[in-house]
Structure 1
């Protein structure tokens, strides 16, 4: 308990909370009371207005005075109501600004968040680097090694039995095609060529064509977004489609995207079983860090039983 109190006394946020408590009990209470009084002032004025009553036959003078008083009362009520429309929201904004300034996360919280996000990104990039290294070693490197052995055999056969080299040439051609396909698949996983050449809509359509789950694509983009935003949106869609096929047992997936003001909004919806959890190693945590790195926001709604909706908003 003593250690906790010592830590709390050493944190700047504790003193900001204390300052807000003092202000809330003094100045902010007066501000709230003034705003409340201004808000109800028109009703109070209406209740306070009393028109003069005529006694006997006093002629048209009393009528004129009553009309003038009524007009002035209406003008006063309108003036106070108009003032309340401006002053009450200003009071609320001032109260909110003070609360955000004193109770909101300070610079140290932002630094902690950025440091944690950077550490997760470094870990994700390290995992990706190891995956690429493993794929090169186990895939393309082995294909090229087999191709080299076949070419050596062809060279030996050409000296002794040229006809026997013909099947080896066909084998070498097949191995070269396999190695090329392996490299293309690897490059596509890093940054697909179609994304660079044709943009996000074509790249997502290519993902949909290669998906084992039927995918409907509805991207309405007036122009191409910046390359970093485009790449982030692509990998979010790719990971969502992979999760829908591997984990959700989905039968249909819909990918939609549009420009909303100055933000690119992309949604991936599947009809699977739901229950997606970023903490279970589905790649969603890495996508959140990647999205945060470009100033975007990633949200996930995946109740048990589905559907799962992955939404990403990225600054255009």
Structure 2
């Protein structure tokens, strides 16, 4: 769940959750990194003599892309294109001609000025009840420490008791007010800051075009490979069974004219071959597009996948009965691949599948307690699926440190 969803879904319970702590952490680390940006960006521009500026500011921008994880979002992907050649000169040339570099610089300038001021003001505003209380306590202790000279000891004791009660009650109200005000103030500031970070530090339209072009080429290759696989399966499986079925029926037809009793075993054999051919065709069609997905939708299809796995799978899919067909199909095959990888390669003993859908986004998270270390580049089958996800303007994120756990997060626009 994201911080924005938690704040919109249950604003009153937001204060009692862990999100205010994450919002405060985002704002506090934003102050630290903002001060660093304020000091470092001018140094990078001067010391780098403009040429080395991308090299000196890149680590700070990369840290900012990872920092949005405090908001419940996946780390922002690197928006820069890969240089055509190896070497520092080629890298610098690619960075200087990449629009993402200048968006990063714009963000760091804002982060070290406007956003830094916003974060500081947010912390001061959220701490206002505590600051007001402390200033009142300071005034109380410095004014008339001994009280009026004409006051009797009993009067002074009553006044002291009243002051203690006021101090304790005021402290409780100050703490409560600070917690509530700081929770909402830092949350709003963090969400605004995170939105600007996603706008300037995420891949832009040019990266989207490059990604779509690359994905389109890989999808064409994948479709061609899939076509050859289906052709091979039909030729080696169902086609051979249908050929044997035809030969058996021809033999039975010849036997019917001479010895009808001898034709009965052949007809029984033909019936078995027809059933086997039908079963193979159904299995082939299921691999192309499962019938349960067509008839009952994504929830039932994921439950069917989980039921057919040897590893215990906990499924919690809070999604509509039906979604657009491309969304259902893509989500189904991503979940199927993730479950297969968890069962076969990760040595997992427990798998969870959770899903939720808003008005415009379907989110599915598949996690397992396996050994981790999954890498799509080593042929986990997710690369081709990532192209399908990318074609629908979705995102797929895989987190799998050595030792586990492995978490795959899929986000698809429901309007795809």
Q: What is the TM-score of this pair, normalised by structure 1?
A: 0.69
Q: In structure 1, what is the equivalent of residue 329 of structure 2?
A: 231
- Deviation string, structure 1 residues 212-271 (Cα, Å, up to 9, x no partner): 333332222244221111111111111112212321223332222122453212122223
> CA distance change for structure 1 residues 242 and 100 in 2, over 3 Å: closer, same or farther?
closer
Equivalent residue of 1:275, what SS?
coil
Q: In structure 1, what is the equivalent of residue 97 of structure 2?
A: 11
Q: In structure 2, what is the equivalent of residue 292 of structure 1?
A: 390
| Greater RCO (Cα-Cα under 8 Å, separation 6 or more) | 2
> CA distance change for structure 1 residues 111 and 252 in 2, over 3 Å: closer, same or farther?
same
**Residue pairs, 1:36-51, within 5 angstroms:** none
> CA distance change for structure 1 residues 118 and 158 in 2, over 3 Å: closer, same or farther?
same
| Pair 1:253-2:351 in alignment | yes
Q: 2:270 aligns with which of 172, 190, 196?
A: 172
**Residue pairs, 1:51-200, within 5 angstroms:** 107-200=205-298
Shift of 1:299: 1.3
> CA distance change for structure 1 residues 18 and 166 in 2, over 3 Å: closer, same or farther?
closer
In structure 1, what is the Cα distance between the partners aligned to 2:113 and 2:379?
A: 52
Contact kept? 1:244, 1:270, Cα under 8 Å: yes
In structure 2, what is the Cα distance between the partners aligned to 1:315 and 1:290?
A: 13
Contact kept? 1:8, 1:14, Cα under 8 Å: no
In structure 1, what is the Cα distance between the partners aligned to 2:336 and 2:317?
A: 15
| Pair 1:312-2:398 in alignment | no
**Residue pairs, 1:19-34, within 5 angstroms:** none
In structure 2, what is the Cα distance between the partners aligned to 1:218 and 1:255?
A: 6
Shift of 1:38: 8.7
In structure 1, what is the Cα distance between the partners aligned to 2:306 and 2:197?
A: 49
Shift of 1:32: 8.2
Which range moved further: 247-256 or 174-183?
247-256
Shift of 1:12: 6.2
In structure 2, what is the Cα distance between the partners aligned to 1:253 and 1:37?
A: 43
**Which has more radius of gyration?**
1
> CA distance change for structure 1 residues 6 and 177 in 2, over 3 Å: closer, same or farther?
closer
Equivalent residue of 2:328, what SS?
helix
In structure 1, what is the Cα distance between the partners aligned to 2:120 and 2:276?
A: 80
Shift of 1:159: 1.7
Contact kept? 2:297, 2:321, Cα under 8 Å: no
CA RMSD in angstroms comes to 3.9
In structure 2, what is the Cα distance between the partners aligned to 1:18 and 1:252?
A: 41
In structure 2, what is the Cα distance between the partners aligned to 1:98 and 1:217?
A: 33
Shift of 1:105: 5.1
